[in-house]
Amino acid sequence: MNTGRTTEEFSIEKRGTLLVEDPLLNKGTAFTTEERIQHGLLGLLPPHVDTLEEQVERAYEAFCDFKEPINKHIYLRQLQDENETLFYRLMLGHITEMMPIVYTPIVGLACERFSHIYRRPRGIFISYPERDSMDAILENVERDIDVIVVTDGERILGLGDQGVGGMGIPIGKLSLYTLCGGVAPAKTLPIVLDLGTNNQERLDDPRYIGWRENRIKGEEYDEFIDLFVTAVKKRFPHVLLQWEDFASVDAERIIDRYRDDLCTFNDDIQGTAAVTTGTILAAIAAGGGELKDQNIVMLGAGSAGVGICLQLKQTMMAAGMSEPEARSHFYVIDRDGLLHSGRTDLDELHQQLAQPAENLKNWDCDTTGAISFADVVRNGKPGVLIGATGQAGAFSEPIIREMAAHVEHPVIFPLSNPTSRAEATPADLLEWTHGKAVIATGSPFDPVDHNGVTHTIAQCNNSYIFPAMGLGILASRSRRVTDAMFIAAAEALKETSPALKDRTASLLPSLTIIRDVSRKIAHAVALAAIADGVADSITEAEIDQRIEETMWQPEY
C-alpha cells in the first residue's frame, strides 16, 4: 500500500487555483518560484516564498489569537481544509495543546454545533433517502482509500444523538490516524450515515443540515447497514472500516455480523477495551500487583464497559485462567444492579460477565433483589474500579473510601467524557484515598498536587490504540481484525508506561512521542495478525520496514 500521491504526480491534473484549493496538494506560500511557474501559480500567491517552519509559526500565532476552545477548533479544521501538510506539521509540534481541541473534549461541542460551524464538505454523507445510490456516492470518491471511519451519529461521546453532526467524530478520528499513526490523509475517508435523528433540538434547529426525520430503526436500519457494507466492499475491497459512536444495541450486532466479512472493528468496543486494558495492566504493575489477583468492578454495562471487561477476561484466560475462574473476578453493574446468574433479564452478551449467584451467598446484603454499587464494593473488595456511565459524580466519597480500605493502591478509572461527565475528579479521588489511588481518566485533567506530591493524570484515550492498529494492519496487509491483535496492542501499550518506574507518573506515555509508541504497538499488532493467519507472512525486519514505508510525514 502506498501512502498517497505526491504533488508531482498530480501536477498534470491540477494547476492554478484548482491546485491551491486542494488541501492534499496545497503548499500555499511555500510553493517555490519554479513550482509557481510550472503549475500556473504566478500572481496567485504573494511573492515571498515561505519555508514550512515559517508557515507553522504564522499558523500557531493565529491559533493563539483565539481564546475560546471552540473557535480554536474551527480554526484548525479550516486549516486542515486548506493545507493538510501544514495542519499536521502544526499539530505534531503542539500535540499536547492541540489534540484536546481537535478531538476530546472539544469535538463534542463541535458535534453539537456542527450545522452552525459547517464551512466546506469533508468526507461522505449518506442519507436514508439516498440508500439506493450508495454505489454512485462512493464512486464520487476519486482516490483509493485505506481507512474509513463511519458513524450514524446516534451515541456521540456522552452527548447522545447528534444526527448528522456526528460527522465531527469520523473527521476527528481520522485526523488522529494521520497525526498519531502516520496514515496518509489522502488514504482516509470519514462517512456519516444519516438515518435521521430523535434529538428534537436538532430537528427544530433551522440551521440543521441533516435529514429532518426521526431515526430509522429495526429492519429498515439493518437493510441500510447491509447496503452500506456491500457498497464499501465493492468500491474499496481492502479497506479498514472502523465503526464509531453507534448505539450499543446496534454496535454489538454490527461488529458481530460483519467482523468476518471484511477488515473491520468497532473502536468504542474494541479500541476502548484495548487502551483501557493496557492502562490497567500498567496501573496494577505500578502498584505492585498482578491482574490475576484483582477483582474488577465496572459501573456501566454499555458497549464500552462490556468490551473492556471481555478483553480483560480474555487477557486473564490467555495467561492460563479458565473461563469460570476469570469470570468470577468481574462485577458489572447496570441500572438494575449487579449482573449475576440469578437475573433473568440478561442477554447473551451480558451473561458472559454475570457473576455466579453462588458466589454471592455469603455477602452482607440482600441478594434476592437489585444489588447496589455500594454493596458490590463493600463485599467484592475490588482492586480496580472503572466507570463508563456518563454520570458525573457516580463515584461518591463513601464508596471510594470503602474501596481504599481494602486495597493499598486502588486503581480507579472514571472514563466517561466529556470532562463534565466524569464519574469523579482526580483531585477528589486522591483526597479520598490519601494519595494512594492510581488514576486514569477518559478526558484530559491537569496534574494534581496532593500533600506535596504531583500526580500526572493519564487520559485513557483511544488515540493510543486505533491509529497504531491501523498502522499495523496496513503494514501487515491484514485481511481481518482479530481479538489477539487487540490483546497484543494492549500488552505493547503497557510496556511503554512511565508509571512502571514511578507510580505517580502518568500511566501513559507523553503524546510528544506518540508516533514512536504507535510504531511499537503496530509491530505487535502485525505479529499477532501474522500468527492468526490473517496477514502476509513476513519477518520482523520486514514488518518494521513496512511500518516506516507506510508512515506519512507532513513534509512538502
Domain harbouring 232, CATH code: 3.40.50.10380
pLDDT at residue number 368: 87
In a domain, 34, yes or no: no
In a domain, 63, yes or no: no
| Nine cell digits for residue 9 | 504526480
Angle between helices 69-82 and 84-93 (to 10 degrees): 140
Instruction: Examine the domain organization and report whether 456 and 488 are in the same domain.
Output: no
Instruction: Examine the domain organization and report whether 311 and 390 are in the same domain.
Output: yes
Rounded CA-CA distance 242/170 in Å is 9
Continuous H helices in 1-113: 7-10, 16-20, 33-38, 52-65, 69-82, 84-93, 95-102, 106-112
Q: What angle do CA 475, 478, 481 make, to 5 degrees?
A: 120
In a domain, 46, yes or no: no
- The predicted model gives 371-393 an average pLDDT of 96
Annotate 352-417 with DSSP letters as a single string. TTPBPGGGGTT-SS--SSPPPHHHHHHHH--SEEEE-S--TT-S-HHHHHHHHTT-SS-EEEE--S
CB atoms within 10 A of CB 176: 23
- Nearest 10 degrees: Cα torsion 29, 31, 34, 39: -110
- The predicted model gives 81-93 an average pLDDT of 98
Rounded CA-CA distance 312/284 in Å is 13
Domain that holds residue 310: 270-460
C-alpha distances (whole Å) from 469 to each of 164, 180, 342, 394, 526 are 27, 11, 38, 32, 9
Instruction: Examine the domain organization and report whether 468 and 453 are in the same domain.
Output: no
- The predicted model gives 496-515 an average pLDDT of 94
Listed residue (333, 322, 415, 315) closest to 374, CA to CA: 333
Instruction: Examine the domain organization and report whether 392 and 319 are in the same domain.
Output: yes
Q: Which residue ranges are tagged as binding site for a divalent metal cation?
A: 244-245, 268
- The predicted model gives 378-391 an average pLDDT of 96
Instruction: Examine the domain organization and report whether 404 and 470 are in the same domain.
Output: no
Weakest mean pLDDT among 10-24, 44-58, 505-519: 10-24
Collapsing DSSP to helix, strand or coil, 175 comes out as helix
Collapsing DSSP to helix, strand or coil, 532 comes out as coil
Q: What is the pLDDT of residues 407-435, one digit of tens each?
A: 999 999 999 977 888 999 999 999 999 99
Q: What is the pLDDT of residues 160-185, one digit of tens each?
A: 999 999 999 999 999 999 999 999 99
In a domain, 107, yes or no: yes
Instruction: Examine the domain organization and report whether 511 and 443 are in the same domain.
Output: no
| Count of structural domains within the chain | 3
Those residues whose C-beta lies under 8 Å from the C-beta of residue 130, and which sit 6 or more positions away, are: 137
Q: What is the pLDDT of residues 105-137, one digit of tens each?
A: 899 999 999 999 999 999 999 999 999 999 999
CA 99 to chain centre: 12
At which of 261, 295, 311 does a domain end? 261
Instruction: Examine the domain organization and report whether 406 and 471 are in the same domain.
Output: no
- The predicted model gives 523-534 an average pLDDT of 98
Instruction: Examine the domain organization and report whether 357 and 470 are in the same domain.
Output: no
Instruction: Examine the domain organization and report whether 491 and 407 are in the same domain.
Output: no
**Cα-Cα end-to-end distance for the chain:** 20
pLDDT higher than threshold 90 for residue 236: yes
The model's confidence at residue 41, banded by pLDDT at 50, 70 and 90, is very high
Instruction: Examine the domain organization and report whether 346 and 400 are in the same domain.
Output: yes
At which of 261, 286, 311 does a domain end? 261
At which of 433, 460, 487 does a domain end? 460
The model's confidence at residue 8, banded by pLDDT at 50, 70 and 90, is very low
Rounded CA-CA distance 271/269 in Å is 6
In a domain, 179, yes or no: yes
Rounded CA-CA distance 285/233 in Å is 42
In a domain, 318, yes or no: yes
Listed residue (42, 14, 22) closest to 31, CA to CA: 42
Annotated catalytic sites, by residue?
Answer: 103, 173
In a domain, 21, yes or no: no
Instruction: Examine the domain organization and report whether 324 and 395 are in the same domain.
Output: yes
Supply the mean pLDDT for the chain.
95
pLDDT at residue number 5: 47
Rounded CA-CA distance 56/228 in Å is 39
Q: Which residue ranges are tagged as binding site for (S)-malate?
A: 155, 417, 461
The model's confidence at residue 303, banded by pLDDT at 50, 70 and 90, is confident
In a domain, 284, yes or no: yes
pLDDT higher than threshold 60 for residue 138: yes
| Nine cell digits for residue 432 | 479520598
Instruction: Examine the domain organization and report whether 255 and 323 are in the same domain.
Output: no
What percent helix, strand, coil does the chain show, rounded to 5? 50, 10, 40
Q: What is the pLDDT of residues 336-379, one digit of tens each?
A: 999 999 999 999 889 999 999 999 999 999 998 899 999 999 99
pLDDT at residue number 7: 45
pLDDT higher than threshold 90 for residue 21: yes
Q: Which residue ranges are tagged as binding site?
A: 155, 244-245, 268, 417, 461
Residue 203 identity (one-letter amino acid): L
